[in-house]
């Protein structure tokens, strides 16, 4: 029935989101940046999250029958809570407002390009490893 959600899916998303958000908060605490400075923690969270979503999608595509809560928990919840587009944009805008447009442009450009490359790298690496694993099994 459209518009209805099973409680287990909602709980999986919520639990994953809580864990991902806590991990991102921990990264921000561990790697603080001054106002208008280069937001290394946000960049790392977004790039790592993109790499991992690439891995997750490759694994789910190759899995015969993945558990139906894997994508909601890890993809929407955990990685959705870990990565943050809004903080990325806020950091860039703050840099511009504080008179550091070069930092904002560098940060925005690096974030987009490296994140796109990370998704592709994660998917490609996981796909290659899974294919090699299947070939090794069939040769045995």
User: Which residues fall in the annotated binding site for Na(+)?
Assistant: 80, 83
What number of helices (H) and strands (E) belong to the chain? 6, 0
Query: Tokens 């790499």 identify what position?
Result: 51
State the Cα–Cα distance between residues 123 and 51, nearest whole angstrom. Answer: 8
Binding residues: 80, 83
φ/ψ of 89, rounded to 5, equals -65, -40
Label residue 135 exposed, middle or buried (CB < 10 Å: 0-12, 13-18, 19+): exposed
In this structure, how many other beta carbons lie within 10 angstroms of the beta carbon of residue 3? Answer: 4
Structure tokens belonging to residue 1 = 């029935």
Structure tokens belonging to residue 22 = 């806590």
């Amino acid at each position: 029935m459209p518009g209805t959600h099973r409680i287990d899916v909602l709980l999986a998303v919520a639990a994953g989101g809580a864990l991902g958000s806590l991990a991102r908060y921990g990264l921000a605490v561990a790697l603080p940046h001054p106002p208008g400075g280069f937001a290394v923690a946000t960049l790392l969270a977004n790039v790592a999250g993109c790499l991992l979503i690439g891995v997750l999608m490759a694994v789910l595509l190759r899995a015969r029958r993945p558990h139906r809560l894997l994508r909601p928990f890890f993809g929407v919840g955990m990685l959705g809570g870990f990565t943050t587009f809004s903080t990325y944009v806020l950091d860039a805008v703050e840099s511009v407002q504080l008179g550091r447009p070069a930092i904002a442009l560098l940060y925005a450009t690096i974030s987009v390009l490296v994140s796109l490359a990370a998704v592709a790298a994660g998917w490609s690496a996981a796909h290659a490893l899974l294919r090699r694993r299947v070939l090794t099994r069939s040769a045995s």
